[in-house]
Structure 1
Amino acid sequence: MSLYLCCDCGGSKTSAVICDPSGKIVGRAVGGPSNFAYHSLEAVIAAIRAAVTDALKECPSEEPFSLLPSPSPFAAAWFGISGIDSPVAIDAISPALSTLLGIPQGPRLMVANDTHLLAAPVRMHPDVSYAVTVIAGTGSNVVSFRESSGSQLEELGRIGGWGWILGDEGGGFHVGKESVRRLLIEHDSASVLSTPARESSLKQRVLEAFGVKDVLDLLTEIHVPPPSAPLANTAAHRLMPREKRLSSLAPLVFKSAFEDHDALAIDVLQTCSGILASQIAVLLGERSDGAPRLVRAQDAVICFGGSLVGVEAYRNMVLNHLSANGHTFAHVEFVDDAAATGAIGLVKT
C-alpha cells in the first residue's frame, strides 16, 4: 500500500493519476467516458479499470503493480465522478470501486462529484480550511467546501450548473449570447439615434463567423434549427445545436478583447465576469448562527477550472469584481489537471 490514486471521471474521458508517498506523479493514463448519469455502472467501472490499469503500468517497481484482489497497491484513492450528485449515487458505485481496487469502503476510498477534485488545493495551503471552486468553460458552476477533520471535503454550498437554458452565467454560452445581444442592442439604438453603432473587431469577427454582412441577419443564423438532412453546402454553424453556435463565439470575444483591445468585447466580458462574481458572492460572507455555511474569502482558496477562467485576464476580471465587493481570497489557484492536483492533495491528507 504505497501508492495514491486519483481519477477524474467525466463525460468525454477518465483521467487516472498515481502518486508515490512523496507526492511525485509516477503513473497516469486516460480511459473512456465515465459520467455516471449517462453510462451504466458496468461501463463506468470498465472505463476506470482501463485507465487505472494503464496508469499502474507506468509505475516503477521491481514487480509490476496490478489490480489483483489482494494486496491492493493503493494506500488511498479519490474519485471525482461527473453525474455523482447524491449519497444514493455514491452508495451505488462505491462497492464496485472497493472491489476493483481492493480498498475497503471508508476513509481510504473517497467518492464524490468531480467538482470536489477542483478543491484539492485547500490541502496544499495549511493556513486555510475552506475552498471555493469556480468552473467556467462552456457552462459554469460554483461550489464551496470545508476541509473536515477526516479525509473528506464537506460541501457547504452550491450555485449554478443549471445548463444553458437556465443559467451558466460567465461561461462560454453566456459570453456568446451577450456578445450577440450587445451587437443587436447597438444596431437597434443606432436606428433611432443620429450616432451610428460603433465599429469593432468583435462585430466583424461575429459576422464573419456566421457568413453574413448585416447584424440583423444574425437572428436567422442563430435561431434556424439544424437541418434534418444537411446538404453538402450547408454552412458549418447551421449543423451545430443552436446553443453551440453561441458558445463557439467565446474565443472570438476573447481575441477581440485581449488582443485587439476592442471596447465592445471588453464590455461583454466585464458584464459576464461580473455576473459570475455575483454568483460566487452568494456563497461568501461572515458566518453566523443564521448563516453557518457561508465562507469568508480571507479564510479560503479560490480554485478556478475550465477554459474561460483558464485565461488569466478573464480570471482577473472575476477577482476584481469580487475584491470591489470586499471579497479578497487568501489564495488563488487555477487547476488545469484535476486528477494530478487531486492525487497530490490526497498524499497531503
Structure 2
Amino acid sequence: MSYYLCVDCGGSKTATAICDASGQILGRAFGGPSNFAYLGPDNFIDVVGTTPLLPPPTSSPLFAAAWLGVSGVDSAAAIARLTPPLAALLGVVPIVCNDTHLLAAPLRMHPDVSAAIGCVSGTGGIVVSFKEGEGAHLEELGRVGGWGWILGDEGGGFHVGREAVRQILFEADRASVMGPVPAPVSSKGGVGSLKARVLARFGITDVFELLTIVHWPDPVPDAEVKDDAPAYTRIAREKRLSSLAPLVFAAAFEDHDPLAIDVLRHTSRELVDQICILLRPETGDAAAYPPRTVKASETILCFGGSLVGVEAYRKMVLDELEKRGHVFRRVEFVEDAAATGAKALAAALQPKVKLVV
C-alpha cells in the first residue's frame, strides 16, 4: 500500500499526517517547534526526525511521496540544503516549500478552480496566490505581506492589538480638545467594553499609561526582576500588543462595542488591500492586467490562522472583498494543514481517485 506524508513545520509545533491513496488519514503525530530560520539545518532535521509518527529509515521506502511545509524556508537555497537530509530520513525525495503552500492544498481537490489564495491571519499575516504546477507541486504566483510585526503583519494579532491601542488613545486625544463624544450605543450596550478590557488587562486606570506599557523595553534574559514589578515588564513588546487580539474580538462580537468593531473593520480592510493585489477584475481584457493575477470567480480562498478561524471576522473580510467586486468561487478555512496537505498530495498523485474532504 502507498502512503502519503505531510509535515507542517511551524514556529510552535510540528504536525504530521499520513494517509493512503484514497485520502483516508491513517496516523497523526506532533513534535516541537520547527521553524527552519530559528533552528538551522541540523536542529531542524533532529526535530522532524524525532516526531513519533516517523519510523527509522529502512531499505524499503514507506512513503510514496512526502510534502513538507516549513516556516522559515523562503529561498531556493534553503530548500536545496534541506532536501538531501530529508530524503535520507524519509526514504523518498520530498517536496519542500514554505508552510504557506500547505494552506493552498485544497486547490488540488477542486477541479472547478484554477488558482488558490492562502490567507493567513493568526499571530502574523500573509497572503499568497498559487496555481497548479508540475506533478504534485504548486506554483507560487504572488505574495504580499508576512514581513513580521515590526514592518507589518496586516490582519494578524499584532496588527489588531496595535490598532486597538491606537484607537483608544486617539479617542482620548480627541476628548482632550472636544470633550467626550458619546459613542453610538450597540444593540448589547457594549460601549466602552474594549477600553475597559484593555485597561484591566494591564491593571491601569489612565489611558495614557498605555504609552509606557507599549514602549517599555523587552525583558532581558536572566536579568533580575523585582517581585512587585508590573507583569508587562516580563513580556516581550510584540506579545503585549498581540495578546490583546482576543480582547478585541470579545468586545466586538460578544459585547458589540462599536470601537472594537471599528478596529476589526480597519484591520480586515488592510488585509483585503493585500488580497486585492493578487486579484484582477472580473470583467475587461485579461491581457491588460499582470499575468500572475487571478480572478476571484476562478479561485479558492483558503483561510488559515486563529483570527480568521473566527467566522465573524472571516465574514468581515469576505464582505469587504464583495464590496470591491471580488466573490470567490470557493472559500475554505483550513484548520488542519497537515491532514489537508496529505489528502491533497494523494489526490495529486492519484488523479482518478475522488476525495471527500
TM-score normalised per structure 1: 0.92
**Identity across matched positions, percent:** 57
SS in 1 for 2:332: strand
Instruction: Give the structure 1 partner of residue 148 of structure 2.
Output: 163
SS in 2 for 1:295: coil
Instruction: Give the structure 2 partner of residue 260 of structure 1.
Output: 255
Q: Higher relative CO (CA 8 A, sep ≥ 6), structure 1 or 2?
A: 2
CA distance in 2, matches of 1:348, 1:335: 17
Letter of the 2:65 partner, please give it.
Answer: A
Q: Is contact 1:69-1:99 (8 Å) kept?
A: no
Shift, 1:342, TM fit = 0.3
Instruction: Give the structure 2 partner of residue 205 of structure 1.
Output: 197
CA distance in 2, matches of 1:96, 1:28: 22
Q: Is contact 1:7-1:15 (8 Å) kept?
A: yes
CA distance in 1, matches of 2:49, 2:217: 40
Shift, 1:197, TM fit = 5.9
Q: Does 1:113 align with 2:98?
A: yes
CA distance in 2, matches of 1:152, 1:83: 19
Instruction: Give the structure 2 partner of residue 70 of structure 1.
Output: 59
Shift, 1:252, TM fit = 0.4
Instruction: Give the structure 2 partner of residue 336 of structure 1.
Output: 335
Instruction: Give the structure 2 partner of residue 271 of structure 1.
Output: 266
Shift, 1:243, TM fit = 1.7
Shift, 1:196, TM fit = 3.9
Letter of the 1:319 partner, please give it.
Answer: L
Give per-residue Cα distances to partners, 1:226-273, cap 9 Å, x unaligned: 454311122222211112111111000000000001111001000100
Instruction: Give the structure 2 partner of residue 237 of structure 1.
Output: 232
SS in 2 for 1:315: helix
Letter of the 2:212 partner, please give it.
Answer: T
SS in 1 for 2:287: coil
Q: Is contact 1:176-1:247 (8 Å) kept?
A: yes
Instruction: Give the structure 2 partner of residue 35 of structure 1.
Output: 35
Instruction: Tell me whether 211-220 or 329-338 shows the greater mean CA deviation.
Output: 211-220
Instruction: Give the structure 2 partner of residue 248 of structure 1.
Output: 243
Letter of the 2:142 partner, please give it.
Answer: G
| Structure-to-structure mapping, 1:1-349, within 5 angstroms | 2-51=2-51, 54-55=52-53, 66-103=55-92, 105=93, 109-196=94-181, 198=183, 199-226=191-218, 228-286=223-281, 287-288=286-287, 291-349=290-348
Give per-residue Cα distances to partners, 1:96-124, cap 9 Å, x unaligned: 11111111x3xxx2111110000001112
Give per-residue Cα distances to partners, 1:153-197, cap 9 Å, x unaligned: 000000101111111111111111111111111111111114446
Give per-residue Cα distances to partners, 1:78-105, cap 9 Å, x unaligned: 01011111111111111111111111x3
Aligned Cα RMSD in Å? 1.5
Letter of the 1:333 partner, please give it.
Answer: E
Letter of the 1:245 partner, please give it.
Answer: R
CA distance in 1, matches of 2:323, 2:159: 22
TM-score normalised per structure 2: 0.90
Q: Is contact 1:187-1:197 (8 Å) kept?
A: no
Letter of the 1:81 partner, please give it.
Answer: V
Q: Is contact 2:57-2:88 (8 Å) kept?
A: no
CA distance in 1, matches of 2:177, 2:318: 37
CA distance in 1, matches of 2:218, 2:124: 21
SS in 2 for 1:215: coil
SS in 2 for 1:303: strand
Q: Is contact 2:107-2:116 (8 Å) kept?
A: yes
SS in 2 for 1:37: helix
Shift, 1:70, TM fit = 1.8
Shift, 1:34, TM fit = 1.9
Instruction: Tell me whether 165-174 or 68-77 shows the greater mean CA deviation.
Output: 68-77
CA distance in 2, matches of 1:266, 1:100: 49
Shift, 1:214, TM fit = 1.6
After TM superposition, which residue ranges in structure 1, 4 or more long, deviate above 2 angstroms? 66-69, 194-199, 226-229, 286-290
CA distance in 1, matches of 2:195, 2:40: 45
Q: Is contact 1:16-1:29 (8 Å) kept?
A: yes
Instruction: Give the structure 2 partner of residue 61 of structure 1.
Output: none
Shift, 1:131, TM fit = 0.4
Shift, 1:28, TM fit = 1.1
Gaps of 5+ in 1: 57-65
Letter of the 1:150 partner, please give it.
Answer: G
What is the aligned length? 334
CA distance in 1, matches of 2:170, 2:57: 63
Gaps of 5+ in 2: 184-190, 349-357
Instruction: Tell me whether 210-219 or 222-231 shows the greater mean CA deviation.
Output: 222-231
CA distance in 2, matches of 1:270, 1:48: 39
CA distance in 1, matches of 2:339, 2:260: 34
Instruction: Tell me whether 234-243 or 206-215 shows the greater mean CA deviation.
Output: 234-243
